[in-house]
Amino acid sequence: MSLTYSDPEKKITRKKVVFVFSAIGLFFFGFIIGPSTMNDGLYAGNVTFTHEDIQINIDFSFDLLSNLEFSETPQTLSNSTGNYQININYYGSYSGQIGKKIIFTVTINSTENISTALKLNNFIASISKGSFKESFSPKVIKDQIVYFEFHIIKYSNIALGLLLMVSFLWMTEVIPLSVSALLIPVLIVIFKIDTATGSSSLFFSPIIILFFAGFLMAEAMKRVKLDTFISVTILSLIPSNTKLLIFSMMVMSAIFSMFMSNTAAVAVFIPLSLSLLEYLDKDYLKFRKMMILGIAYSATIGGIGSLIGTPPNYIAVDLLHKYTGVTISFIEWFLVGLPVLILLIPTTFFYLWFRLKPSITDQALKEAKLKSINRKKDIHNLSKDQIVVLFVFVLVFCLWLLEQFHGVHAGFIAVIGVILLYFSGHLIQEDLTRINWNALLTFGGGLTLGAVILKTGLADWVALQMGFLKNIHPFFVLLFLGFLSLVLTGIASNTASASILIPIVIPLGITLGIDPVLLAVIIAIISSVDFAIVIGTPPTMVAYSTGYFNVREIFKLGILLDIIGLLVVTLLGWFFYQNVLFLIT
C-alpha cells in the first residue's frame, strides 16, 4: 500500500516556486545596488562648521586597516577663522573590521561664546577614498563636544540583499515565518559576515528568554484557569449596562495583553464573550460584533502598553541600547506605552460605537450575563493552585518594576517565576510544546536581521540616502515613517516590520537631528497598530473566525481606525514624548 501526500498547504505549487525565485532575485538585486565595501587604505576626511555667516573647514586623513582590532594613535588638528577655532580629535588609524566605527569629536572655541547655541545641523562631515564618498551628521552634542560616529561599510550589499529577500518572504509567507527567520543566521555564516556563534546568539538573547518565560507563565495561568477566574469575576462585577460592559471587557483585554501574548488575551475574553452572547437573541447582531471586535482590537492595543506586550517594543529597546547606549527599563516603557493605550482604547470604543451603533436592552443583557456566570459556578472561588500561580506572577511583576534598583534583566526575573512554577508543579514538561515557538524563532530572526543591518553599516548608508527628509518638518517626518510602518505591518507581521524599519530609523534620526529614541519608539508602536487586515494580527484573525464578520467588513472598519491610530501615536510622539524623553535618555 502506498501513501499519497495531499495536504494543499504543503504542496510545492507553481506560485511557491515563483515566490522563492523572486526572493532569490531580490537578494541579487540588493547585492548589486548596495553600497560598496570600504576597503583598506588612506581616507580623506572633512568637517564643516556653519553658523550664520561663518563657515570653517578642517581636513584630516586616516588609515583604515582590517588587521587592527582597535583604532589607535589619537591625533588633534585645529583651524580658525576670525574669532572662531575648530578642533578635531581623531585617530590616525581605524580598525577596518566589520562592526567597527569611525569615531571622532569636534569642539568649537569662540570669543563670542556661541557654544550654547550649537546644534547638530551646524556640522557636517565627509569621508572619501577614490570613488567612495559619504557625508554624515554628528551623533550627539554633549558638554559642548560634538560626537561623530559612522559604521564601517562592509558586506552592506549582502545585508541589503538579505533584507530584501527576507522581507519578501515574510510578506508573502511562502514559507513559514520561522523558517525565513532561520535563513538569516545561515546566510550570515555562509557569507562570512559573522561566526556561527555570533549569528545565532540572539536566538537565545535575554529578550527571547523574557518572552519564552512569559509564554510559560501564561500556560501556568491557563492550566489552573486563573485567567478564566479573573475574567468571570470581572464580568460578575460589571453592571448590566451596554456601554460599560463592552468598554470594561475591552480594558481588561488590553490589560491581559500587556503581560501575555495578545493571542492568549483574546483566547480568554472572546470565549467568555461568546458564552454571554449565545444567550442573546439574533436581533442583537451589532452588539455581538462590537463586543467581539472591541476585545480583539483592545488586545492588539494592549501589547503596546508594556515592554513584554509585543516583540516590536523590545526590538526598539534592544537596538537603541546597541546603537545609542540608551537603556529603557521595564517601568520606563510605561511612560511610552501607557499614554498610547489610555488614549487608543476609548478612541477605539467610541469609533466602533459610532460605526456599528449597537443596541440592546439592559434587561436582555442582565439575563444573558447571569446565565453565563451561573454556567461557571465551579470557578467562582479562588483555589490553592490559583493562589500559588497568582503569587508567583505578582512577585515577578514587582521585580520587573524594581529592575532599575536590583539590575537583574527582566528576562531572568521571568525565568525565576518559571522555575518556581515548575517546582510547585504548576508547569510540566509538556507545556514546552504548547508555547508559540514560531513567534520566538521569528523574533530571534528579526533581532539578528536588525543587528546585521547595523553591524554592516547598511543602516547608516540607508539613512544617508534618506537625507532629503532634512527639508521636511520633523512632525511630517514622523508621520511619513509611521505611515511606512503601517503599510509594512499590513503586509507583514509587526515583528518583521519593526525588524526592518527600526535599525534604519535610528541612524536616520541622528542624520535628521531628530531624537532616535523618539523615532524608534514611534515605529515600534505603530507597527502594532494594525486593525484592517484579517491576517494582520492574531486577535483580528480570532475575531474573524467567530463567523460574525467577512474580510471586507473588517477592512472597512479597520482601515480608518489604522489611520486614527497613526495620527494619535504621531501626535503623542510630537507633543508629549518630547517632554518625557529626558526621563529615559
User: What are the phi and psi torsion angles at 84 (to 5°)?
Assistant: -115, 140
pLDDT over 80 at 493, yes or no: no
Question: Of the candidates 243, 262, 246, 249, which has an alpha carbon nearest to the alpha carbon of residue 302?
Answer: 262
Domain range summary for the chain, segments of one domain joined by +:
41-152
Residue type, 570: T
Q: 398-404, long-range: CB within 8 Å, 24+ apart, which pairs?
A: 400/330, 400/331, 401/330, 401/331, 403/329, 403/330, 403/331, 404/329, 404/331, 404/332
Q: What is the dihedral of CA 373, 379, 381, 384, to 10 degrees?
A: -160
Which value, to the nearest 10 degrees, does the dihedral of the CA atoms of residues 481, 487, 489, 492 take?
Answer: -130
How far is the C-alpha of 310 from the C-alpha of 495, rounded, in Å? 8
Q: What pLDDT does 1 receive?
A: 37
Determine the pLDDT at residue 582. Answer: 46
pLDDT-derived band of residue 345, with 50, 70 and 90 as boundaries? very high
Q: What is the mean pLDDT of residues 13-19?
A: 82
Tell me: pLDDT of 412 over 50. Answer: yes
Give pLDDT tens digits for 518-561: 888 888 999 888 888 765 677 877 787 777 877 788 888 888 99
What's the pLDDT at 310?
81
Q: Helix, strand, or coil here: 253?
A: helix
Dist. CA 553–CA 544, nearest whole Å: 10
Residue 29 has pLDDT above 90, yes or no: yes
Can you give the C-alpha Rg of the chain in angstroms? 27
As a whole number of angstroms, the distance between CA 456 and CA 67 comes to 17
Cell numbers at 56, concatenated: 570653517
CB neighbour class for 110 (10 Å; exposed up to 12, middle 13-18, buried from 19): middle
The per-residue pLDDT for 45 is: 92
Mean per-residue pLDDT, 573-577 = 70
Quote the pLDDT of residue 42. Answer: 94
Instruction: For the chain, give the percent of residues with pLDDT over 90.
Output: 13
Q: Are 520 and 498 in contact (CB under 8 A)?
A: no
Residue 127, strand partner residues: 45, 134
pLDDT recorded at residue 373: 66
- The CA-atom distances, in angstroms, between 99 and each of 11, 96, 340 are 41, 9, 35
* 361 vs 90, more confident: 90
**pTM: predicted TM-score of the whole model, two decimal places:** 0.71
